[in-house]
Chains A and B, each alone.
Chain A
Amino acid sequence: AQSVTQPDIHITVSEGASLELRCNYSYGATPYLFWYVQSPGQGLQLLLKYFSGDTLVQGIKGFEAEFKRSQSSFNLRKPSVHWSDAAEYFCAVGAPGTYKYIFGTGTRLKVLA
């Protein structure tokens, strides 16, 4: 069965520091991979997605993610975090040929001034 694991429930970084949020998935083939961000009191917003091709994908707000097939990972990165990046981040897997999305449990990011 497909699953998504985000091992870090909470992460705290200082403003200006680099960020990496981890995501591991379990799926028989390469799924569609997504990162969404949820700001307080808001719905989820798509940051970036990967289907195929270049394993390093760029998203909005300066985020990027790298797909590593050998590690079944799709980690999200940002070189320099801004205070406005404080939010909850969700990794998601989509099963090709279906409507099914599986979301991870999320990582809550806190940014220190």
Chain B
Amino acid sequence: DAGVIQSPRHEVTEMGQEVTLRCKPISGHDYLFWYRQTMMRGLELLIYFNNNVPIDDSGMPEDRFSAKMPNASFSTLKIQPSEPRDSAVYFCASSLSGQANEKLFFGSGTQLSVL
């Protein structure tokens, strides 16, 4: 398996623009997580899905952020409109059972810069 695949690797956009980040989890993994990494706050869980259904989105910072998982092999994280404070590295991760004793498999991340 190719692992968790994220695209794009880098995204530079201007404030107010819509940004869409993409993720393909490992085949067979029922759980998908979106994390955001910043210098100030470290790694924060934004939202996670189980079998394509959002289970906990309490980490989504505000209504400008939305995430979908239309099928088992694809998820998107959208920011609309984007703001400079959204600049961060966004990681997607997947796991088999979603339990906290299980290894998370991370993608390489999307480096987002909002000017």
Contact = CB atoms under 8 A, between A and B. Distances in A.
Interface of A: 31-32, 34, 41-46, 49, 51, 90, 94-101, 103-106
Interface residues of B, number: 21
Interface of B: 4, 9, 31, 42-43, 45, 48, 55-56, 91, 93, 98-101, 103-104, 106-109
B100 A90 contact: no
Contacts of B91: 43-44
Given A94-B100, A99-B99, A100-B100, A43 B109 contact: yes
A58 to B, nearest CB: 15
Given A32-B100, A43-B91, A51-B101, A99 B109 contact: no
Contact of B104 (A31, A46, A98): A46
B93 A99 contact: no
A101 B109 CA distance: 18
A43 B91 CA distance: 7
B104 to A, nearest CB: 7
A42 B108 contact: yes
A26 to B, nearest CB: 15
A27 B100 CA distance: 14
Contacts of B42: 103-106
